Amino acid sequence: MVHPDVLAPHFEPEVVARDLKDGYWIEAADIDGDGRLDLVTSGLAIGEVVWYQNPGWKKYPIATLPKPVALDHADIDGDGRLDLVICHDYGSCMYNCKPEDGKISWLRNPGTYDAKTDWDVHPVAELMATHRLRFGHFTQASRLELMALPVVGPAGVHEPIQVMLYKVPDDVQGASAWDGALVDGDSFRIIHDVVVDRFGARAGSELQSVVLASEEGITWLHYDERGSWKQDRFAPGEQGQVEQTHFKGTGNVAVGRIGPDPYAYIATIEPFHGNTVSVYSKDASGQLSGTQWKRTILDVYADPNESGEGPGHHVMCGDFDGDGDDEFLVALRGPMPWQGVFYYKAIDAAKGIWTKTRVSTPSAARIAVGDFDGDGRLDFATTGYYTPGYFLCADPQVTVFYNRFAPVAA
C-alpha cells in the first residue's frame, strides 16, 4: 500500500533474455565505454559469463568457467577499459567445499567484441569457498586492492572464514598470482554480503571500508590510522530461527541515505538466505559507529524450507523517486507469491515506519541499479535464481525495469 504523501512506484519491464539455463549474478557496468550502463551476468549451472550491450541488449560472451559465483569490475590493467574479477571453481555447494575449491581470476576487457571470442583469463589467487569480491582502496590510496570473502571456513560451514586482501601487481598481465594478506581469520562465519563505501569519511578517513552481513550480524570492518583492522559490530541480526534453520545473523545488507545523513538506516535480509526484512535506524545523525541501532522487522516472507532457507537473496538502496532520500529494493528468488522485487519507502525511518510496493514478479537472485536509459532516473535490473542444489526458479530471465514515476530533471 502506498502512503498518500509519496509517489507510487512504477517501473516498465524490458526482457533482456529469457529461457535461461543459469542465473545467479548480475552487475551494471559500462563495458564498451560508450557512457551507457551494460549488464554482466553469470550463474553456477552452466558457468556462462556474458554481457548485454546497451542499447539493444545484444549478448556477448566473456568466459565459461566452472561454477562462477561473484564478480566485480574495475580498470585492472590501466588501459581505460573496465575489466572483471570473478570467483569460480566453487565446489558442489557451500556444505561440501573442499580445500581445492575456490579460485579467483580476472578477465581482461579486449576492447573489441564479437559473438564468438572470449576474454583472456588471468589468475589472481586460490581461496576456498570465495563467495564475494569487492575492489577498493582499503589500506592505502595509491594501488587498487581486492577484498575476497569466502562464505564458509576451511573447517566447516559454521567455522571462521579467512577474509583476504590482494593488491593489484605492477605487471598484472604477467603475474601468476597477486600478493595477498589475511584481513581476519577468526571473527566471521557465513559472510553473504558486503557493501563498500567511504564509511569513515566524516571521521577524516580517505579510505574505503566495508559493512558485512554474516552469521555475527552487521559489522563495519575498517583499517584505522594506526595500520590495524578494526571491527564495529552494530547488531547481531536474526536470532530466533537458529534452532529451526541452523542460521542466524544477517544475510544481506545495504546502507541508505535520508536527507544529509548518508548512513541513516541499514536495510537487511536475515538470516542467511533468509525470510525476514529488517531495517536498523539510529539515534545520532551522520555517524555509522558510536551510536545505537534499533531493529524494526518490516516483513517475514514465507516459512523457511526444508533446508532452512527463505526466499530473500539481495537488498539494494537508491533514490528512485528523486526526493533526496534512499528507498530500498528487496530481491526474492521465489516461488510465488514470495518472488520478485519489493520497493520500500521511508515514511519515518527513525521510527521504523515504511511503505511497501511490489514492483516486479520474475524471480530475482540479485539486483543491479543504474540509469539504463539515460533519463536521469534510477532503474534496476534482475536475473532469476537458477542454481542447482539451492533453488531453480520458473522462467529464469534477465529483465530491466525502467523508472517511469520519478520526475525527470529539466
- pLDDT at residue 169 greater than cutoff 70: yes
Residues 254, 194: Cα–Cα separation, whole Å = 8
Torsion, Cα 232 211 129 46, to 10 degrees, reads 170
> What's the confidence (pLDDT) of residue 91?
66
Of the candidates 231, 379, 237, 221, the residue with the CA atom closest to the CA atom of residue 312? 237
The band of 204, judged by pLDDT with boundaries at 50, 70 and 90, is confident
Specify the pLDDT at position 155: 74
What is the residue whose three cell numbers read 532516473? 377
Backbone angles phi, psi at 406, to 5 degrees: -75, 150
Span 190-200, average pLDDT: 95
Tell me the per-residue pLDDT of 11-63, one tens digit each, with 9 for 90 and over.
999 999 999 999 999 999 999 999 999 999 999 999 999 999 999 999 999 99
pLDDT > 60? residue 1: no
Stretch (H or E) spanning 242: helix 242-245
Give pLDDT, residue 157.
86
Give the contacts of 397 (CB within 8 A, at least 6 positions apart).
Answer: 15, 16, 17, 18, 19, 20, 362, 383, 384
Residue 286: pLDDT band with limits 50, 70, 90: confident
* Cell triple for 279: 531495517
* Mean pLDDT within 223-233: 94
Longest dimension (CA), the chain: 59
Does residue 346 contact residue 258 with C-beta atoms inside 8 Å?
yes
* pLDDT band at 287; cut points 50, 70, 90: confident
Which is it for strands 252-258 and 229-235: parallel, antiparallel or unpaired?
A: unpaired
Cα(24)–Cα(253) distance, rounded to whole angstroms?
A: 17
Over residues 173-191, the mean pLDDT reads 97
Instruction: Outline where 45-85 has alpha helix (H).
Output: none
- Asked whether the predicted pLDDT for residue 8 surpasses 60, the reply is yes
What pLDDT is attached to residue 403? 99
| Domains along the sequence of the chain with CATH | 11-403 (2.130.10.130)
The percentage of the chain sitting over the pLDDT mark of 90, rounded to a whole number, equals: 86
Read off the pLDDT band of 176 (50, 70, 90).
Answer: very high
Q: What is the mean pLDDT of the chain?
A: 94
pLDDT tens digits, 136-168: 999 999 999 999 999 998 878 888 999 999 999
What value does the mean pLDDT take over residues 332-339?
A: 97
Task: Quote the DSSP letter at residue 118.
Answer: P
367 band by pLDDT with thresholds 50, 70 and 90: very high
pTM: 0.96
Residue 325 has pLDDT above 60, yes or no: yes
pLDDT (0 to 100) of residue 316: 99
Q: For residue range 368-385, list pLDDT tens digits in order.
A: 999 999 999 999 999 999
Q: What is the pLDDT of residue 225?
A: 87
| Residue-level pLDDT at 134 | 99
Lowest mean pLDDT among 95-109, 213-227, 275-289: 95-109
Give the per-residue pLDDT at 229. 97
- As given in the structure block, the three cell numbers for residue 141 are 590510496
CA distances to 71, 207, 330, 340 from 393, rounded to whole Å, are 22, 40, 17, 11
Residue that is written with C-alpha cell 603475474 in the block: 175
In this model, does residue 256 exceed pLDDT 60? yes
Q: Please give the pLDDT value at position 98.
A: 67
